[in-house]
A = this chain, B = another copy of it.
Amino acid sequence: MSNRISYIKGLHCPKCKKEYSEDQIRHLCDCGSPLLADYDLSEAAKNWKKEDLKNRKPDLWRYHEVLPVRQEENIVTLGEGFTPILPLKNAGKKIGLDHLFLKDEGVLPTGTFKARGAAVGISKAKELGVKTVAMPTNGNAGAAWSVYGAGAGIKTVIVMPEDAAKITRNECLVAGADLYLVKGLISDAGKIVARSIEKNGWYDASTLKEPYRIEGKKTMGYEILEQFGWEAPDAILYPTGGGVGIIGIYKALKELQELGWIEEKLPKLIAVQAEGCAPIVKAFREKKKESEFFEHSSTVAFGINVPKALGDFLVLEALYETNGTAVSVSDEEILGSVQEVAESEGIFTCPEGAALYAATKKLSKEGFLKAEDKVVLLNTGAGIIYPDTVRKEIPYLELDAVL
C-alpha cells in the first residue's frame, strides 16, 4: 500500500454536502456549487511520512498522495512547483516587518502560478479520457492549460478578451491551441465558451467548474509549510480574483492538520484585491458569507479583475476561520509597489503580487501585522509578462558616447 500514488476517495459539495465519484467526469454539483476532492487522510497518514519528502524531486508531485491522479503515466509535468521563498529583508525593514517573505511563483513554467492548476487539472483530465478542454481566460490560465494540454495530447480551445496580456497569446498559439479573441470581458468569453461546450461536449476548464485545478493550487500551502519546517507562519497574503489560490491553501492547511503534520495554529489568510474590483473586501467588511457582483470593475492588476467569483463563499470562509482579513489597494499603490520591491530586492513582481506588498504596508501601519510576525506574500507571476507596469523613457547614446 505504501507506494500507491493517490489517496483520493471522492468528491463532495461544500454547500449541499452531496457526494460524487472521482472516477467520472464531473463539473459543478447539481446545486451549482464547485466540488472539492476528498482523500483518505487517515490511511495516508499511516503510510506517508514527512521524512519521505526528502528523497523526492522539488516539484509539486512530491505530494502525490494528496493529488487526484491515480496512475503515474497520466502525469504531465513541466517540472512545476517548489518555488523559492525569499526573505524581503530590505523591503520588510522599510515597512516595519522583520520577517517578511515572498514566495515567487514567477519562476514556474509559463511564468505564473496557473501552471500548478493546469498541471494537475490536465493530468486528471487525461486520466479521465478527456479529448478537448475549453475555457475563457484573462490570459495566464489559458496559456498554462494550452501548454500542458499539448504535453498531454489534449486539444485546448481558448477564448480571451483582446485586452488580456499579449504575451499569453503566443503560448496558446505555439502549443497548438485553438485561440480566439473577443472585444469584451472574460465574462463575454465565458458565455461563448459555455455555449460551445454545450454544443460540442468539451470538458469545461473554467475556474472552479472542474474540481482539480484547486488541487494543483493547494500545493502552495503544502510547500509553504514544508519550507518553513512544518511551522505555520503568522500570515499569508494572496491576491484574490477567482480565489482558487486562497481556497486551495486553506484546504491544504486543513489536510495537513488531519495528517497530523502541523499543529492547531493556522496562518491568518489575507485576501488582497484592487480598489477597482473588491467584492470580497466589501463582503468581508459587511461580515457576509457571499459577495455581490462588483459593477464596472477595473484595475491594472488584470488577473484579479473578477467581479463575482464562483467560490466567493469558500474564500470568505477561509478568511473568517483563520482570523484573517481582506484589504484593497489602489492601482497607484500597486504600480509603486512593483517599482519598490524590484529596486529593494531585485524581484520583478506581477501587479497582483505587488498589490500584496502595498496591502502589507497598510496592515503593518494599522497594527494588524506586527514587527515580529512571519508574513508570506504569494507573488503569483513574473513581472515580465506585464510590460506596461514599467513606464520610463530610455535615453539613446551616440556611437562615440562616453558615460
**A183–B110 alpha-carbon span in the complex (Å):** 31
Bitwise, A35-75 to B at CB < 8 A (1) or not (0) is 00000000000000000001101110000000000000000
Select one of B159, B174, B389 contacting A383, CB under 8 A.
Answer: B174
Residues of B within 8 A of A180 (CB): 394-397, 401, 403
Asked if A10 lies at the interface with its beta carbon under 8 angstroms from chain B, I say no
Q: Mark A146-172, 1 if CB is under 8 A from B, else 0.
A: 111111110001010010001101110
Chain A, range 170-195, C-beta contacts under 8 Å to B:
170-171, 173-176, 178-184, 188, 191-192, 195
Question: Which residues from chain B contact A385 at a C-beta distance below 8 Å?
Answer: 384
In whole angstroms, how far apart are the Cα atoms of A166 and B170 in the complex?
Answer: 15
CB-nearest residue of chain B to A162: B396
Partner of A107, one of B54, B108, B397: B108
- A385 to B111 CA separation, bound complex (whole angstroms): 11
A149 to B348, CA, bound (A): 13
Q: Judging by beta carbons under 8 Å apart, are A176 and B387 in contact? A: no
A199 within 8 A of B: yes
| A147-B347, A384-B170 known; A192+B397 contact, CB < 8 A | yes
- Chain B residues with Cβ below 8 Å from A195 are 401-402
- Known A-B contacts A192-B401, A399-B182; the reply to A111 vs B342 at CB < 8 A is no
Which residues from chain B contact A358 at a C-beta distance below 8 Å?
A: none
B-side contacts of A107, CB under 8 Å: 79, 107-109
Complex-state Cα separation, A320 to B270, whole angstroms: 58
Nearest B-chain residue to A395, judged by Cβ: B180
Find chain B residues with CB under 8 A from A346 CB: 76, 78, 146-152, 175
B150 touches A394 (CB 8 A): no
Could you tell me if B78 and A403 are in contact, using CB atoms closer than 8 angstroms? no
Contact A192–B399 (Cβ < 8 Å): yes
Which of A81-89, A293-301, A308-316, A326-334 lies at the interface?
A: A81-89
B76 and A104 within 8 A (CB): no
Whether B181 contacts A397 by the Cβ 8 Å rule is yes
The CA of A191 and the CA of B399, in the complex, are separated in Å by 8
Q: Is the CB of B76 within 8 A of A169?
A: no
**Is the CB–CB distance between B192 and A159 below 8 Å?**
no
Tell me the number of copies of this protein.
2
Known contacts A76-B346, A170-B387; A396/B182 CB under 8 A? yes
Nearest CB on B from A134, distance (A): 8
Which size class do A's interface residues fall under?
35 or more
Give the Cβ gap from A3 to chain B, nearest Cβ, in Å.
20
In the assembled complex, the CB of A41 is this many whole angstroms from the nearest CB of chain B, namely 27
Q: Which of A79, A82, A106 has the most CB of B within 10 A?
A: A79
A257 interface contact, C-beta 8 A: no
A392 within 8 A of B: yes
Q: Answer whether residue A77 sits at the interface, using C-beta atoms and an 8 A cutoff.
A: yes
What CA separation (Å) do A401 and B180 show in the bound complex? 11
A-B CB contact pairs (8 Å), 20 listed:
A107-B107, A151-B346, A152-B346, A166-B387, A169-B394, A170-B390, A171-B384, A174-B343, A174-B390, A175-B343, A178-B403, A180-B397, A181-B394, A181-B396, A182-B401, A188-B399, A191-B399, A192-B399, A196-B402, A196-B403
A residues with a Cβ closer than 8 A to B are 54-55, 57-59, 76-79, 82-86, 90, 104, 106-111, 134, 146-153, 157, 159, 162, 166-167, 169-171, 173-176, 178-184, 188, 191-192, 195-196, 199-200, 338-339, 342-348, 382-385, 387, 389-390, 392, 394-397, 399, 401-403
Kindly list 10 other residue pairs between chains A and B, CB separation below 8 angstroms, not including A109-B347, A181-B396: A107-B109, A147-B346, A147-B347, A151-B345, A159-B397, A170-B390, A176-B342, A176-B343, A180-B394, A192-B402
The 4 A-B pairs with the shortest beta carbon distances in the complex, nearest first, are A79-B84, A151-B346, A58-B58, A196-B403
